[in-house]
Amino acid sequence: MLTHILSGDRPRSLVLTGLLLAILLGLALAPFLFPGVRSLETAARICIFIVLVASYDLLLGYSGIVSFAHTMFFGLGAYGVALASTHMGRGYDALVVGTVLGAVASALLALLIGLFSLRVRAIFFAMITLAVASAVAVLVSQLSGLTGGEDGLNYSIPRELTPAFKLGSLFGVTINGKILNYYLVFFASLALFLVLLRIVNSPFGRVLQAIRENDFRAEAIGYRVVFYRTLATCLSAAVAALAGSLFAIWLRYVGPDTTLSFEIMLDILLMVVIGGMGTMYGAVIGATIFVLAQNYLQNLMGVASGATEGLPLLPQLLDPDRWLLWLGVLFILSVYFFPTGIVGRLRSED
Amino acid sequence: MTTAAPDHAPKYAQVSLPDRIGKAMPLLLVPLLVVLGFLSIGSPSSWLTLTVSGLAMGMMIFIMASGLTLVFGLMDVINFGHGAFISVGAYVGISVLLGLESWTGVPSLLLNVAAVIAAVIAAMCVTGALGWGFERVIVRPVYGAHLKQILVTVGGLIVIEQMIHVIWGPDEIYLTRPEMLKGAVTFAGAAIEKYRLLAVVFGLALFVAMRLVLKRTKIGLIVRAGVQNGEMVEALGYRLRLVFIGVFIAGSALAGLGGVMWGLYQEVITAGMGEEMMILVFIVVIIGGLGSVEGAFIGALLVGLLQNYVAFLEPKLALISNIALMTAILMWRPQGMMPVVKAK
């Protein structure tokens, strides 16, 4: 039964199993274990980023394609919900319509980009997605009439999903709409993650891995490499858009900085690499560690920067604004010395 | 016993006209675009202004792109960190210019040019050295693995960009051009900025020089041969690695030069400018065909001209005009206009 749910892809390491169970339980019981607005915010972020990173891993880890447009698809999903909620008014129908439209639009756009670049060589894809994603990001901040520009959009979602909706209390925690909203995000993320796990362990997923290892040979065996690569791109884009929709439902706000910025793209890359490319469980571990570190380490950097005041250069290097610098260093080091990530390391130990 | 060779009568058929036009088509695209621009803009004076600024922009993009396309052709290395050299070049060069205020502030051609040359040399030295270090530390361990190359060079881009923030502070730096490069000349009713003219002349000179080096010198021959078939060149006894390091350093220095020129053109520099230019550079390299210097030159001019024309005609479309151009060219020639490196 359990093997069936996990599509036969067991964690295959005792430590890893323990970690994954801890994360699953922690997220499932987050409102009760860690009450408070900020920890719930962090937990929801972790759920959404697990899906986003797992969908990116389908591309990077399983198909060996580098894309820089993943935040664009994420943003499309988020803006889909935001625009639908703005124009159709508050309601579940708006959420559904926005989510579906965002996912379809993402898949179509990915199909277009894939047809142009993957046909020739996979390396074009990295450059073209970078160009397209930056053009879209600029476009979104320029078309302020439609997208709210740099300010983004605020909109309202059904009342049952907002803190104003009270339901009574359980184990001393007041159950309000925000907690219902959290469980919507949690179960949707869990379902999407299991779907992705199913995809990569299907025959289709095997072909993707074969293409990653040797595309020439895969073509020679009779698999249309372009077709498989393009389909993987579309699937990954659609799931990213769904994650974006969840994010929009959770935040009740979208803006270019929170959904489209290049910085988020880097975060995703780093989460995949730290967790481990080519395993879906890597996305879980990577996203959890990274979001926790992002939320709590930046404070620490501020403290360290204050403590080293007076020394040359160190305060600037430790300034919380230089968070990206350390991410970059960590990124290079982990690609060199840690290419299989945490999951690969744990699995090889057993 | 020998058998007679089979009959065969070679014929020297002339290449048909459509074939010849097809072959020369990339070369015709730039004049074609200029004529199209003239027809759609209508007013000759604004057309002239836009054409000159488009050409100037194209030349600067070409300077930044040339190194990248050669590095790719020679060693199959795709360097996403190229943009960092543009930013560093701009910051170093502009710092020198700001330091030489007494030379740039007076209306003397000699002192102004001396200051600009000093800035350019400083920028090229620093970015060349940085490129050398980048090749050693970042690129060398990941030869032959595209995926890792992309990831690691992106990491390098972030680190260098953030170090600019640490060294020069987080704010953009505004500057004014040296006295003699300010202002415009009027020609046939069109106001043309002096600096843009200078950029066009300088870019053309650099392109011609680069072509001469590549086509007429021994080192150019080795580089071109290396781009086409590296293994063969190594089998003939040349150490292609050394050539590659040289090209990498030269390409980084050119990116730095492009950065200084772009900074003077925009009169403001930010740490993120390299990343922004990088996108144009990629578009140029893709539509030119990977590994081709001539293709990059034509591509850069197309991008520069189109951006300026479209920005005048329909400002909102300017953002996506480059993407549209890239799409059109890739539909026409999926490998880019003049690919030198075979698709892998």
Work out the end-to-end distance of chain A between its first and last CA atoms, rounded to an integer number of angstroms: 24
- Tell me if chain A has a CB within 8 Å of the CB of B11: no
pLDDT, average across residues B253-267: 90
Cβ separation A332–B147 shorter than 8 A: no
Cβ separation B320–A135 shorter than 8 A: yes
Q: Is the pLDDT of residue B105 over 90?
A: no
Q: Is the pLDDT of residue B210 over 80?
A: yes
pLDDT, average across residues B41-66: 88
- Tell me if chain B has a CB within 8 Å of the CB of A311: no
User: What confidence score (pLDDT) does residue B300 get?
Assistant: 93
Question: Domain map of chain A by residue range?
Answer: 2-349
Total residues found in chain A within this entry: 350
Instruction: Return the bridge partners of A254, or none.
Output: A153
Cβ separation A134–B276 shorter than 8 A: yes
Q: Is the pLDDT of residue B71 over 90?
A: no
Question: What is the identity of the amino acid at A286?
Answer: G
Cβ separation B158–A324 shorter than 8 A: yes
- CA A63, A68, A69, A71 torsion-angle sign: positive
B301 and B55 Cβ atoms separated by less than 8 Å: yes
**How many contacts, defined by CB atoms under 8 Å, are there between A and B?**
102
User: What confidence score (pLDDT) does residue B173 get?
Assistant: 84
Q: Is the pLDDT of residue A167 over 60?
A: yes
pLDDT, average across residues B166-179: 82
Residue B294 binned pLDDT confidence (cut-offs 50, 70, 90): confident
User: What confidence score (pLDDT) does residue B108 get?
Assistant: 75
For residue A135 the two structure tokens come to 């053009």
Query: CA of A163: how far to CAs of A54, A83, A166, A167, B244, in Å?
Result: 29, 22, 7, 10, 61
What is residue A171's DSSP assignment? T
User: What confidence score (pLDDT) does residue B35 get?
Assistant: 86
- Residue to mutate among A63, A115, A121, with most B CBs inside 10 A, is A121
- Which backbone phi and psi does B192 adopt, to 5 degrees? -120, 125
Cβ separation B279–A130 shorter than 8 A: yes
B59's CB contacts (< 8 A; 6+ apart) are B199, B200, B202, B203, B204, B206, B207, B300, B301, B304
For residue A156 the two structure tokens come to 């309202």
- Tell me if chain A has a CB within 8 Å of the CB of B156: yes
Instruction: Return the bridge partners of B174, or none.
Output: B268
Among B280, B260, B279, B256, CA closest to B269: B260
Instruction: For residue range B226-248, list pLDDT tens digits in order.
Output: 888 888 888 999 888 888 889 89
Distance in angstroms (rounded) separating the CA atoms of residues B128 and B253 = 4
Q: Which residues of B touch A123 (CB under 8 A)?
A: 78, 146, 150
- Tell me if chain B has a CB within 8 Å of the CB of A342: no
Residue B344 binned pLDDT confidence (cut-offs 50, 70, 90): very low
The fraction of chain A above a pLDDT of 90, given in percent, is 26
- Nearest-by-CA chain B residue for A262: B275
Cβ separation A135–B330 shorter than 8 A: no
- Tell me if chain A has a CB within 8 Å of the CB of B344: yes
Coil, strand or helix: which one is B268?
Answer: strand
- Residue to mutate among A109, A127, A274, with most B CBs inside 10 A, is A127
- Which backbone phi and psi does A253 adopt, to 5 degrees? -155, 140
Write down the mean pLDDT value for chain B.
84
Q: For the residues of A9-56, what is the DSSP string, one character each?
A: ----SHHHHHHHHHHHHHHHTHHHHS-SHHHHHHHHHHHHHHHHHHHH
For residue A22 the two structure tokens come to 């801890």
- Nearest-by-CA chain A residue for B160: A325
User: What confidence score (pLDDT) does residue A126 get?
Assistant: 84
Neighbours of B145 (CB within 10 A): 13
Among B159, B279, B148, CA closest to A269: B148
Total residues found in chain B within this entry: 344
User: What confidence score (pLDDT) does residue A120 get?
Assistant: 65
Q: Is the pLDDT of residue B341 over 70?
A: no
Q: Is the pLDDT of residue A168 over 60?
A: yes
Beta strand residue intervals within chain A, DSSP E: 153-154, 166-170, 173-176, 253-254
The residue among A306 and B295 whose pLDDT is bigger is B295
The residue among A226 and A318 whose pLDDT is bigger is A226
Write down the mean pLDDT value for chain A.
84
Question: Domain map of chain B by residue range?
Answer: 44-271
What is residue A254's DSSP assignment? E
For residue B327 the two structure tokens come to 């799409």
The number of C-alpha atoms within 13 Å of A128 and in the hemisphere containing its C-beta is: 28
A156 and A89 Cβ atoms separated by less than 8 Å: no
Residue linked to tokens 């072909």: A207
- Nearest-by-CA chain A residue for B319: A135
Query: CA of B42: how far to CAs of B30, B31, B188, B301, B317, in Å?
Result: 18, 16, 15, 21, 19
Distance in angstroms (rounded) separating the CA atoms of residues A82 and A148 = 10
Cβ separation B326–A131 shorter than 8 A: yes
Rounded to 10°, the helix A262-275/A280-307 angle is 110
Cβ separation B155–A142 shorter than 8 A: no
Q: Is the pLDDT of residue A303 over 80?
A: no
- Tell me if chain A has a CB within 8 Å of the CB of B310: no
Cβ separation B162–A322 shorter than 8 A: yes
Q: Which residues of B touch A126 (CB under 8 A)?
A: 78, 80, 150
User: What confidence score (pLDDT) does residue B3 get?
Assistant: 66
Cα B279 to the center of its chain, rounded Å: 12
User: What confidence score (pLDDT) does residue A72 get?
Assistant: 92
Q: Is the pLDDT of residue A63 over 50?
A: yes
Distance in angstroms (rounded) separating the CA atoms of residues B216 and B224 = 11
- Tell me if chain A has a CB within 8 Å of the CB of B166: yes
Instruction: For residue range A76-104, list pLDDT tens digits in order.
Output: 999 998 888 888 878 788 888 889 999 99
Residue B138 binned pLDDT confidence (cut-offs 50, 70, 90): confident
Residue B74 binned pLDDT confidence (cut-offs 50, 70, 90): confident
The fraction of chain A above a pLDDT of 70, given in percent, is 96
pLDDT, average across residues B4-30: 76
Q: Which residues of B touch A219 (CB under 8 A)?
A: none
Indicate the burial class of A184 (C-beta count within 10 angstroms; 0-12, 13-18, 19 or more): middle
Cβ separation B319–A335 shorter than 8 A: no
Q: Which residues of A touch B344 (CB under 8 A)?
A: 121
- Tell me if chain A has a CB within 8 Å of the CB of B285: yes
- Tell me if chain B has a CB within 8 Å of the CB of A292: no
User: What confidence score (pLDDT) does residue A207 get?
Assistant: 92
Coil, strand or helix: which one is B191?
Answer: strand
Q: Is the pLDDT of residue B332 over 90?
A: no
Cβ separation B330–A116 shorter than 8 A: yes
Among B152, B155, B160, CA closest to B131: B160
- Identity of the residue in A116, A123, A331 whose CB atom sits nearest the CB atom of B146: A123
User: What confidence score (pLDDT) does residue B58 get?
Assistant: 92
- Residue to mutate among A130, A317, A330, with most B CBs inside 10 A, is A130
Distance from CA of A18 to the nearest CA of B (A): 30
Cβ separation B282–A130 shorter than 8 A: yes
- Nearest-by-CA chain B residue for A318: B166
Cβ separation B162–A324 shorter than 8 A: yes
B203's CB contacts (< 8 A; 6+ apart) are B55, B56, B58, B59, B60, B62, B63
Helical segments of A118-214, H only: 122-142, 144-147, 177-200, 203-213
For residue B249 the two structure tokens come to 């350093």
What is the CATH architecture of A2-349?
A: Orthogonal Bundle (1.10)
